Amino acid sequence: MDAPQDQFAIRVRDLVVGFGRQTVLDHLSLDVRRGEILGLVGASGGGKSVLMRTIIGLIKGQSGTIEVMGQPIGGHGRGAATTWGILFQQGALFSSLTVRQNVQFPLRENLVLSQELMDEIAIAKLEMVGLRAQDADKYPAELSGGMTKRVALARALALDPPILFLDEPTSGLDPIAAGDFDALITTLQKTLGLTVFMVTHDLASLTTVCDRVAALADGKIVAIGPMRELLQSEHPWVRAYFHGKRSQMLQHEMR
């Protein structure tokens, strides 16, 4: 169905991003294939979030090109919600709207549809992310951390965008909730055929969910590939990341 040049959902070429005299991303290149779940790891403050925010257009790059679904960024404008959905770390739900209204917000802003259909779609999305219809009239302040993330995911997916960005989706969740959330993302990715770009520190998510993992160090992607390959990487930072005491313990447990 797709032409060969369309096999990449996101293409980043020679991206340079800096603030003042500090360069955060230094000639970074990264391709995200259609329909894969790509995990991005990197040191805290190492530019993971900057990369994500640059791709979605919140930060301007100094040089380099970024194409999302074959279009240079900036060309998406108002319809951005139909191109990608973003799950922010704290959910970023609109606190003055109910859960239902939060999910309906992208629908209302981008489409012309009847209130009845909008209500049904909102409930459908909420049920798809594992919430109940009874939760729809709550306000964000009344939700637990896990529920907030689920509502934010439902809102991100409201318009069935082809790409989903997740910023540390499992941070702040207990291991059971985090595991459930991972499973949810895998299911939704399969059902809706999403491309998922996930920034995470959660080694369990990286191992169980991600098709490929990219490691960001010194402003560049220093290693990319399935988790198995990354574990074999010789790059000192990648080795330190995956073979540190904590990681070793986790991997040992998982074996």
Nearer to other proteins, 132 or 245 (CB): 132
DSSP string covering 101-118, please? HHHHHHHHHH----HHHH
Listed in sequence order, the DSSP H helices in 157-224 are 175-192, 203-208
Nearer to other proteins, 110 or 247 (CB): 110
Nearer to other proteins, 110 or 171 (CB): 110
Spatial separation of the C-alpha atoms in residues 240 and 110, rounded to whole Å: 45
Tokens linked to 38: 């790509």
Cβ 97 to other proteins shortest distance, Å: 9
- Pairing verdict, β 212-217 and 37-42: parallel
Strands of the sheet with 22-33, listed across from one edge: 22-33, 8-19, 63-68, 71-72
Cβ 143 to other proteins shortest distance, Å: 10
Cβ 237 to other proteins shortest distance, Å: 33
Residues 181-203 as b or e (16 or more Cβ within 10 Å = b): bbebbbebbeeeebbbbbbbbbb
Cβ 35 to other proteins shortest distance, Å: 10
Chain positions contacting other proteins, by CB under 8 A = 82, 95-96, 107, 110-114, 117, 120-121, 123-125, 127-128, 132-134, 139-141, 157, 159-160, 190-193
CA dihedral 141, 143, 85, 183 (to 10 degrees): 160
Query: Which residues are registered as beta bridge partners of 195?
Result: 163
Tokens linked to 184: 């949810």
Nearer to other proteins, 188 or 215 (CB): 188
Nearer to other proteins, 28 or 158 (CB): 158
Cβ 254 to other proteins shortest distance, Å: 28
Cβ 127 to other proteins shortest distance, Å: 4
Nearer to other proteins, 117 or 240 (CB): 117
